[in-house]
Amino acid sequence: MLAQRTFRATSTETSLLHLGIATLLAIFPSVQSAGAEPDTAGYWQQEVRYVIHASLDETNATLSGREAISYVNRSPDTLTSFFLHLYLNAFRPGSRWADRDSIEGSPRFNDLEDPDYAFERVSRIEVNGVAVAPEYPYAPDSTILRIALPEALVPEDSMNLSVQWQARPSTLPRRQGRRGRRYDFAQWYPRVVVYDRGGWQDHPLYPAGEFYGEFATYDVTFDVAEDQVVGSTGVPVEGDPGWERAKADPTLQIDYQRDWYTSLLPPPSPPGRREEGGCVGGEGGGPGRKCVRFYAEDVHHFAWSVNPEYVYEEGRFEDVVVRVLYLPGEQATWGDGVAVGRTIESLRWLKELFGPYPWPQLTNLHRIEGGGTEFPMVIMDGGASMGLILHETGHQYLMGILANNEWRHGFLDEGFSSFQGAWWGEEQTPGSDAYASLAASILQFDLDGWSEPINRRGEDFRDFATYGVMTYSKAQLFYFQLRYVLGRAVMRAVLREYYDRWKLKHVTPDALRDVAEDVSGMELGWLFDQWLNQTPLIDFAIGTVERRELPDGSWETSVEVLRKGDGWMPVEIGERDRPVIYARSTGLDRTETVTFRTAEKPGRLMLDPRVRSHDWNFTNNREAGLFDLADARYRLDTFVEEPAARDRRVLSIAPTLWWNDASDATVGVRVRQNYLGRFDKRTLWVGRGVSGVAQTTEGPLDFSFSWENPIFLRSDRASQLLEGWSRDGTVGARARFSRERRSSFTSPSRHRVGWMAQWVATRQTDFLDPALWDNGGTVELGRLDDWNLGALGARWKASADARAGVTYSRVGGRTGNAKPFLRVTATGSSRRPLGAFVLGTRFFAGAYVADDLPALQRAIPLNGADPYQTLENPFVRTQGALLVQEDLQYHSPGNGNLRGFRRGLGGRWVLAANIELERYLVRRPSGVVRSVVVVGFADGALVDTVAVRTFSGTAIKAVSDGGMGVRIGLHVGDLNFPLRIEFPFIVSDPRESYETIPGDNRLGFRWLISLQPIF
């Protein structure tokens, strides 16, 4: 809901670009960072070739495979062991993946039983014909298999492995999966672990973080049921993938590209030859079966999928054939060229951004799971939206061709692909701004202290959700910042050079940085380091501005840029009220003076007017005069919503009006403001009763002010409040500090700890209900605890409020009789589904401990809120207010919540329980009325006889009520609140009810309303 600044992107961008580059070039001399490789010299990668034969038996959902791996050691090291990934073993009980899911509260694969879980079992491995024993170094996880090599493999030497295995995908899909006759073989074969400059990358598979593989040649033969339709990495060099029968357009001439690799292909299988398993070349492995052989080069993974129902469509982008496989009935969403067209457009854009696609084809197929996953030449998508296709196709470049280690540097593929996708969106809609909303949302994570450095191993993030936000979204922001620093044209040049230099190789953050530095001539370590390895907060403030007219009539302006945050970015200096940028500061120094010349006198200045530096605090970015109100947006307050802006305060003003017995009408003005919806929330109200007591006896004006979360007190998950008032018969001041304890932003459980101090006193008792207020005041210090817990299938809330204080009385205008007291209340509640109903339960305990009876306003109330808890509400806090009328019972919830009883019943202690059974009649996601609920309720309490008298002489009194009600969930502006209309038909002590029923009958017609939830 953050407002976006509008500016004319086209004209500003261009001038900015030139200016920005010129400025930065002047600022950063072209210096290579020490030790950086200027190119790929010294880079090596292992040489791998797979020949795989795989037979799918659908009766037991098991694939039987054998593979021959030729491996050439191109590293400078001698290898004595060897590793294979067996990814499918992640999707079974006991794996690290399954355990991590369970720890994070999403037990999935640990709960699967045979035959639902996946497996990948190696039955035999030979190295150069010698059988070797597999080891599982991360047991019980078996996603990594290690063997000791019978003979060390010296540099440039080669070896041959042969592996036999059986594999089964899981019925619960995760990247891979099976459902009926559909199989998504995303992981399925023993895959060679990368050996790179960091050694063996033997890394078990976790939910956070994906894959890393050696570039290889794959020669793969599938032996599948005759009617299966196959989508796969590579080209079908022999056999029938089933597309002819599956094609949507009968006239389509399918381009199989069988001769794409002609010059490179091994000779076709000699006819008539039969290997064990009986499947060679295009000839079937038996009745009702067929063999299809796919071949691919320069890919580091090989994925395929079968489904006899697939519908086939085809298109082409230049030399690249686009194949789409979708499900029958999806013609509108996938068919008629929709998915083909979107895939082609993605390929076009990526070629423009990086360079030509190096492979023959791209297959976009509809997988079992939602979302999408990328593999070389194959994207498996749960839908056919442009955003998803563009993101996954982006991975053909960022992961497939520029092959990063996805579990170590996930931001090099995920955030990068999200960035290119957002850039495509900007190109489609000139002037659109993908950056603003992204930056604003990431800022909330930064300000709450949830951000973590994005350059870390997937499983090292706090949890899967943090991994996701950092690796996709905050990383995307990093690429935006890189583009901001470089300018768009240089960014494009960087991407092309990155591609030219590193295509079909393994890339690292340093590889990207070196290219960016080489192309731009800038030193960029500060940018990469801050955004990848730290979580800084950036805040710049404008200092002194001096304008000087030069003899030739031009102007020289000096601007002081003050760095207040721990992070820095180059900061643009422009006009506050027009889209003009004059200069950039480096942002590096604590105080930096930037001088620029202009032909005309510049107007009022502003730092970062385009909101690009991730500056979290824009309240100090504008040059302002004494009576200059331009740093805020002004609006007429609607009372039901309070918008926020990214780059300035929002100030909402409105007249107020309420009335009560003592002053008739009270008129006033309320001003409230906020920054980012969370900081510097200040409210000032001034007003005056137009007649009555207040007019004759009180000072000139009533007032109240509050200041919540001052910017200068910002710290992670902390909140502060200061307030004071003198209005409607009371005077007081309050300070509160609280901090939230929570293990993650996704955690359903949290604990807020607060401390408070307050003074509240009566000022003019004519305003106040004598049943609720004694003339006097209290000074209190207290601790407040709030818990939210998600456990045992329900949401639990609990709170505790413990205060020590002094109470005093005002009699005849004199203050005195100060006495200490302790006051403690505690509440716990939950709501949980119970069949077609929702069961709500609540417990309350409260006690006031002192030598004397409590002042009325500090007694523990039986009925609802205590008078201090309603001080905020002008329609409730005084006698004769809008909702405090003779024939109207308004219920302010709280404390004992015995709603059938009257206000003002309170004593030294209350022990209460409330039970509600709700049934939803209406539930809607939009509109003013969001829900209608009928509810039956019962409230019971044990209470001090000070509150409810007895004639039996006991010190404890049991009271109860019960009835029915209707609740209408309302949504107005930003506010969600219920309208409660309740009928407490039964009250145990009818004389203590707010509604006197003739004959002291316990049963009778009573009703109440409320605009606040009961609990």
**Total number of residues binding Zn ion (CB under 5 A)?**
1
Contact call for residues 751 and 785 (beta carbons, < 8 A): yes
- Between CA 196 and CA 480 the distance in angstroms is 30
**Burial degree of 583 (CB within 10 A; 0-12, 13-18, 19+):** buried
DSSP code for 27: H
Count CB atoms within 10 A of the CB of residue 677: 16
The DSSP code for 1003 is B
Determine which helix (DSSP H) or strand (DSSP E) holds 1004, and give its type and residue range.
Answer: none
Q: How far is the CB of 327 from Zn ion (least distance, A)?
A: 22
- Taking the least distance from each CB to Zn ion, the nearer of 414 and 518 is 414
3-state secondary structure of 579: coil
CA 768 to each of CA 496, 511, 779, 867, 962: distance values in angstroms, whole numbers, following the listed order: 75, 73, 19, 10, 29
Q: Measured between alpha carbons, how far is 864 from 1010 in angstroms, rounded to an integer?
A: 11
Cβ-based neighbour number of residue 475 at 10 Å: 27
CB 616 within 8 A of CB 537: yes
Which CB atom, from 184 or from 414, has the smaller least distance to Zn ion? 414
Please identify, using beta-carbon distances, which residue of 84 and 475 lies nearer to Zn ion.
475
Whether 939 and 916 have beta carbons less than 8 Å apart is answered as no
> Cβ 374 to Zn ion, closest distance in Å?
6
Using the minimum distance from each CB to Zn ion, give the nearer residue, 373 or 535: 373
Spatial separation of the C-alpha atoms in residues 148 and 152, rounded to whole Å: 9
**Nearest-CB residue for Zn ion:** 414
C-beta closer to Zn ion: residue 414 or 780: 414
For Zn ion, the closer CB: 240 or 414: 414
Task: Return the number of the residue (414 or 446) whose C-beta is nearest Zn ion.
Answer: 414
> Closest CB to Zn ion among 101 and 414?
414
Closer to Zn ion at the Cβ: 301 or 734? 301
Q: Where in 850-1002 does DSSP place strands (E)?
A: 860-861, 906-907, 909-923, 929-944, 956-972, 975-987
Closest CB to Zn ion among residues 96, 395: 395
Encoded tokens for 389: 């296709």
Residues of span 603-642 touching Zn ion by CB under 5 A: none
Give 379 or 676: the residue with its C-beta nearer to Zn ion.
379
Say how many CA atoms lie within 13 Å of 617 toward its Cβ: 22
| Least gap, CB of 107 to Zn ion (angstroms) | 25
Q: How far is the CB of 201 from Zn ion (least distance, A)?
A: 20
Of the candidate spans 380-388, 413-421, 524-532, 763-771, the one that interacts with Zn ion by CB under 5 A turns out to be 413-421
CB of 394 to Zn ion, least distance (A): 8
Taking alpha carbons only, the member of 431, 418, 529 closest to residue 480 is: 418
Q: Are 67 and 275 in contact (CB under 8 A)?
A: no
Contact predicate 861/898, CB 8 Å: no
Question: For Zn ion, what does the binding mask look like between residues 365 and 404, x meaning CB under 5 A?
Answer: ----------------------------------------
DSSP state for residue 181 in the 8-state scheme: T
CA distance 307 to 169: 14
Query: What is the spatial distance between Cα 51 and Cα 160, in angstroms, rounded to a whole number?
Result: 11
Q: Which helix (H) or strand (E) segment is 365 a member of?
A: strand 361-366
Residue 399 Cβ, how far from Zn ion at the closest point, in Å? 8
To the nearest whole angstrom, how small is the minimum distance from the Cβ of residue 433 to Zn ion? 22
CB of 419 to Zn ion, least distance (A): 11
- Picking from 43, 135, 26, 152, the residue whose alpha carbon sits closest to that of residue 83 is 135
- Return the number of the residue (476 or 873) whose C-beta is nearest Zn ion: 476
CA distance 440 to 456: 23
Q: Pick the piece of the chain touching Zn ion (CB under 5 A) from 412-420, 474-482, 604-612, 665-673.
A: 412-420
Query: For residues 313 and 374, which CB has a smaller minimum distance to Zn ion in the complex?
Result: 374
Residue 414 or 463 with smaller CB distance to Zn ion:
414
Q: Where does this chain touch Zn ion (CB under 5 A) — which range of 67-75, 201-209, 406-414, 780-788? A: 406-414
Q: Which of residues 302-361 bind Zn ion (CB under 5 A)?
A: none
Find the shortest distance in angstroms from Cβ 210 to Zn ion. 8
Q: Residue 167 forms beta bridges with which residues? A: 63, 120
* CA–CA distance, 903 with 896 (Å, rounded to integer): 11
Please state the closest distance from residue 305 (CB atom) to Zn ion, in A.
18
Q: Are 542 and 560 in contact (CB under 8 A)?
A: yes
Q: How far is the CB of 391 from Zn ion (least distance, A)?
A: 5
Closest separation between CB of residue 414 and Zn ion, Å? 5
Q: Which stretch binds Zn ion (CB under 5 A): 378-386, 408-416, 603-611, 879-887?
A: 408-416
Name the residue nearer to Zn ion (CB basis): 414 or 433.
Answer: 414
- Which tokens belong to 80? 């004595």
Query: Closest distance between Zn ion and the C-beta of residue 493, in Å?
Result: 25
Smallest distance, Å, CB 870 to Zn ion?
52
For tokens 């509150």, what's the residue?
A: 947
| Interface region with Zn ion, contact rule CB under 5 A, candidates 38-46, 410-418, 528-536, 715-723 | 410-418
Structure tokens that stand for 258 in this block: 């069988």
Q: Rounded to whole angstroms, what are the CA distances from 974 to 129, 641, 644, 654?
A: 72, 5, 12, 17
At closest approach, how far in Å is the CB of 467 from Zn ion?
Answer: 12
Q: Within 13 Å of residue 41, how many CA atoms lie on the same side as its CB?
A: 5
- Residue 414 sits in the site that holds Zn ion (CB under 5 A): yes
Dihedrals phi, psi of 464, to nearest 5 degrees: -65, -35
User: Residue 184 CB, nearest distance to Zn ion (Å)?
Assistant: 16
Under 8 Å CB-to-CB from 585, ≥6 apart: which residues?
Answer: 559, 561, 570, 571, 573, 592, 594
CB atoms within 10 A of CB 367: 27
Pattern 479-498, Zn ion, x by CB under 5 A: --------------------
| Structural contact between residues 291 and 279, judged by C-beta atoms closer than 8 angstroms | yes
Binding track, positions 899-938, relative to Zn ion; x by CB under 5 A: ----------------------------------------
Q: How far is the CB of 395 from Zn ion (least distance, A)?
A: 6
The number of angstroms, rounded, from the C-alpha of 538 to the middle of its chain's C-alpha atoms is 21
Select 299 or 855, whichever has its Cβ closest to Zn ion.
Answer: 299
Please say which residue, 414 or 944, places its beta carbon nearer to Zn ion.
414
- Smaller CB separation from Zn ion, 472 or 844: 472
Shortest Cβ distance from residue 371 to Zn ion (Å)? 9
Residue 490 CA to residue 70 CA, distance in Å, equals 42
| DSSP assignment letter at 473 | I
Per the structure block, which two tokens stand in for 75?
Answer: 């590293």
Give the residues lining the site for Zn ion (CB under 5 A). 414
